[in-house]
């Protein structure tokens, strides 16, 4: 195995930023208090949490009082959807066919409990069918859950345009911005979003900390009972160390997001050019006109995605597919299936995702090795036929 591994799975999780690690270590060493305690130890911990709230708000263009700090985007997505159903007469929820399981599976559960739900389809490139939406808008939809950017294809949805259309029809909009944070410009207030959910571990923060952002005038209730933290919206003693990490990550987004986006866009171009140059039978998936600057979803003709990922792992390259392991067998990605690919075709999809500390030369070299491995697997497969 090569000693220098190349990590191309940032959409699964990202390496922790140095500033994040430093902030967490400092709090771990020096802030032992409980943020709910009134004494000075408690006040210091409270200050960490409140600073993070302001940084998170600044990173997404929202107001600090609307930020509820949670244990990640899975929790936040559950919180928004379940709150809506609990507090709405005749809830009618639309979510897209390409949402993360932390939205899709909640919507499925709610549907089984009798809530009216519908799935908003996408086309072959993973673009949302806007005509479908226009037809549905007479139907008294109360909430639409739509991600800002997709974790598998990297597709970026036109959230300001969608929000405008939905607000005219009287629906609320929940946006899962987990993959968009730190990669593209997202502005909660400017886009007019009602609920936004975030996670910090995709862009250099620690795992297990996220946020639910709520528009002024709207409410979000706690998922469970047991405490008054986060003004009753997220009970449980705050994980002050992780929150300090989220603060540093959000601060990095404020300071470096533009520079990161530009650099990632150039890296992506170099990686895709090299892939095109070196590979045969390459197909890039998703909407090439609106994609995250750090994500490439690729398929190689005649090469199974899982076989490719395993061979790449041995070569020192970590990447992923959107496949889920259900009852011991690999299910192809629901996102690629929703785009109209059949199962065999969907199984060929492989996702490469990178971030600000990935080197351009590393990406170009990885593209060369990916093409080489894909060719080898294709030849082996042909020999076995």
Q: Among all residues, which ones are annotated catalytic?
A: 325
Stretch touching ligand PMP by CB under 6 A, among 67-75, 121-129, 310-318, 336-344: 67-75
Give 6 or 153: the residue with its C-beta nearer to ligand PMP: 153
Site size for ligand PMP, by CB under 6 A?
12
Shortest Cβ 100–ligand PMP spacing (Å) = 3
Among residues 53, 84, 100, 351, the one that binds ligand PMP under rule CB under 6 A: 100
Report residue 21 CA to chain centroid gap.
21
Q: Which residue is nearest to ligand PMP (CB)?
A: 72
* CB nearer ligand PMP, residue 84 or residue 100: 100
Q: Which of 199, 291, 321, 349 binds ligand PMP (CB under 6 A)?
A: 199
Q: Whose Cβ is closer to ligand PMP: residue 72's or residue 355's? A: 72
* CB contact set of 47 (below 8 Å; sequence gap of 6+): none
Q: Which of 155, 179, 291, 295 binds ligand PMP (CB under 6 A)?
A: 179
Nearer to ligand PMP, 6 or 151 (CB): 151
Nearer to ligand PMP, 101 or 161 (CB): 101
**Using CB under 6 A, which residues numbered 219 to 248 contact ligand PMP?**
none
Asked whether position 291 contacts ligand PMP by CB under 6 A, the answer is no
Residue 49 CA, chain-centre distance (Å), reads: 23
First to last CA, the chain: 29
**Could you say whether residue 155 binds ligand PMP (CB under 6 A)?**
no
Rule CB under 6 A: say whether 117 interacts with ligand PMP: no
Tell me if 73 contacts ligand PMP by CB under 6 A: yes
Q: Catalog residues that contact ligand PMP under the rule CB under 6 A.
A: 72-74, 100, 102, 147, 151, 176, 178-179, 199, 210
């Amino acid at each position: 195995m090569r000693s220098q591994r190349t990590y191309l799975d940032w959409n699964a999780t990202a390496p922790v930023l140095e500033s994040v690690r430093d902030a967490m270590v400092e709090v771990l060493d020096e802030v032992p208090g409980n943020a709910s305690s009134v004494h000075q130890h408690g006040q210091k911990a409270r200050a960490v949490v409140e600073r993070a709230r302001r940084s998170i708000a600044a990173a997404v263009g929202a107001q600090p009082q609307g930020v509820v700090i949670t244990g990640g985007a899975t929790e936040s997505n559950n919180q928004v959807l379940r709150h809506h159903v609990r507090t709405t007469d005749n809830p009618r929820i639309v979510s897209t066919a390409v949402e993360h399981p932390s939205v899709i599976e909640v919507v499925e559960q709610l549907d089984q409990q009798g809530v009216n739900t519908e799935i908003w389809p996408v086309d072959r490139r993973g673009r949302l069918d806007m005509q479908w939406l226009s037809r549905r808008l007479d139907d008294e939809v109360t909430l639409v859950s739509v991600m800002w950017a997709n974790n598998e294809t990297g597709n970026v949805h036109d959230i300001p345009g969608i929000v405008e259309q939905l607000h005219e029809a009287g629906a609320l909009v929940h946006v899962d911005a987990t993959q968009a944070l730190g990669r593209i410009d997202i502005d909660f207030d400017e886009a007019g979003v009602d609920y936004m959910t975030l996670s910090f571990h995709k862009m250099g923060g620690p795992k297990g900390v996220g946020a639910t952002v709520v528009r002024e005038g709207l409410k979000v209730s706690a998922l469970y009972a047991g405490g008054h933290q986060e003004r009753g919206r997220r009970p449980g003693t705050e994980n002050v160390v992780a929150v300090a990490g989220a603060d540093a990550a959000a601060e990095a987004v404020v300071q470096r997001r533009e520079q990161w986006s530009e650099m990632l866009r150039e890296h992506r171009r170099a990686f895709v050019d090299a892939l095109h140059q070196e590979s045969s039978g390459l197909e890039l998936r998703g909407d090439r006109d609106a994609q995250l600057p750090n994500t490439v979803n690729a398929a190689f003709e005649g090469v199974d995605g899982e076989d490719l990922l395993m061979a790449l792992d041995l070569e020192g390259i970590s990447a992923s597919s959107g496949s889920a392991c259900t009852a011991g067998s690999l299910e192809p990605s629901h996102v690629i299936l929703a785009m109209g690919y059949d199962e065999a075709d969907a199984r060929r999809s492989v996702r490469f995702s990178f971030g600000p500390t990935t080197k351009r030369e590393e990406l170009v070299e990885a593209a060369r090795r990916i093409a080489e491995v894909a060719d080898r697997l294709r030849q082996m497969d042909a020999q076995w036929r």
